[in-house]
Amino acid sequence: MNQISCPAILVSAPASGQGKTLSTAALARAWKKRGLNVRAFKCGPDFLDPMVLETATGQPVYNLDLGMCGEQDGLARLYQTAQTADVIIVEGVMGLFDGTPSSADLAMRYNLPVMLTIDASGMAQTFGALASGLLGFQTALIPAGVLANKVGSTGHADMLKDSLPSHLNWLGALPQDEAYALPERHLGLFRAQEIVDLEARIEAAAIALAASSALALPPKVTFIAPKTITSAITPKLLAGKTIAIAHDAAFCFIYPANIDCLQEMGATITFFSPLHDKALPEANAYWLPGGYPELHLKEISENTAMRDSLLAAFNADKPILAECGGMMALSESINGGPTYGLLAGNSHIETRLQGLGTQHTELLEDLGSIGAHTFHYGKFETKLMPITQANSRYGAGENIYQHGSLTATFLHFYFSSNPALTARLFSYARP
């Protein structure tokens, strides 16, 4: 049986907001500064944290999720990455046991040792009790150690370290310092490109962390070759086709695995900016992913040339996939401001979360289901009837609309979970 071993660790926490992304980025950068080939992953559906980790490691960051991506997809990515990596670091999602499946479920499935990041700004000896309780809650978990975040002083760090039981390793401390803080907005962290001093923040955090601990590599994990390697069996269903993808400050939520999947099916990929380009590139199909169109309404409303180009592609029956922010930008308005107007209906940004979680949809009955996730504050009001509705573990999920050659939804699809259905999304024949 083919297998390979590589040091690996999953970074988790008691809850969201503890500093997982900063800790993961700092640890990854500290190891990189030693000359190691560090590869990072993000547990769960997420676009923003991977951007920070990509800056820290200098390499693409892929997602691991037992629900959306699937167990074999994660195994294949870990196995392939371990061929060349010196160490693998996975950032968890929310608290260690939050969600179904959780970060703990992922760690236990792939035998990843778990490091806890704990915001210690308001605690002393309870630090050790909290760490011990979390890492001992499931006997199948492999404890790697504990990192303290927002530490007040060297004395505070020593107190936290001494509170740990002997079987838990001290993996260092990050001081409480605004120089490390990562700014946030309603969907999470700012995009990495918006944090102008992100490189300096990560570097400073890595230096501070290295000063507090030897930062030994985690234990080696053995990854067994998956039953199938997706890229080796993916049919060339998009051979000869060019797919143009919107990619700029307003349209930026793109899984690297989705690009890989399209290319593995034979597609040629090109990118364009709906904000700044005056015309679409020549292509067989177009994809407008999610992002922040609501922050760029002036550019969208003033770019009438792009609106005309999108309308021309639609009238020519070119397949268009619009996800989340992409759908909102193709509606008639966002918060009352005019947008591209291909889809009858109006969009609004609400003050409360409107959709969250992993979902699946068959979409086309003969091709099985595709994994997806939703996370948005947007609302789309339309008289259009959905062609189908996704399913979540809580019942009915997001609507999916078909208007001519345009497929629109608040969902973000994970293409590798169903390449054949994905290929159909980028193909259209008028009924």
Known catalytic residues?
324
Category of 99 on φ-ψ map: left (φ > 0), alpha (ψ -120 to 50) or beta: left
Alpha carbon 102 to chain centroid, angstroms: 15
Distances (CA, A) of 225 to 2, 81, 108, 200: 5, 11, 17, 38
Residue 99 token pair: 């969600």
CA triplet 177, 89, 4: central angle to 5 degrees?
165
Please give the DSSP secondary-structure letter assigned to residue 38: E
Q: Identify the three-state secondary structure at position 250.
A: coil
Please give the DSSP secondary-structure letter assigned to residue 416: G
Q: φ and ψ at 233, to 5 degrees?
A: -120, -5
Which residue type is seen at 107? A
**Dist CA 245 CA 289 (whole Å):** 8
**Dist CA 55 CA 199 (whole Å):** 7
Alpha carbon 407 to chain centroid, angstroms: 22
**Dist CA 409 CA 331 (whole Å):** 11
H/E element, 246: strand 242-246
Residue 57 token pair: 């490691």
**How many Å is the maximal CA-CA distance in the chain?**
72
The partner residues of 118 in beta bridges, in order of sequence, read: 148
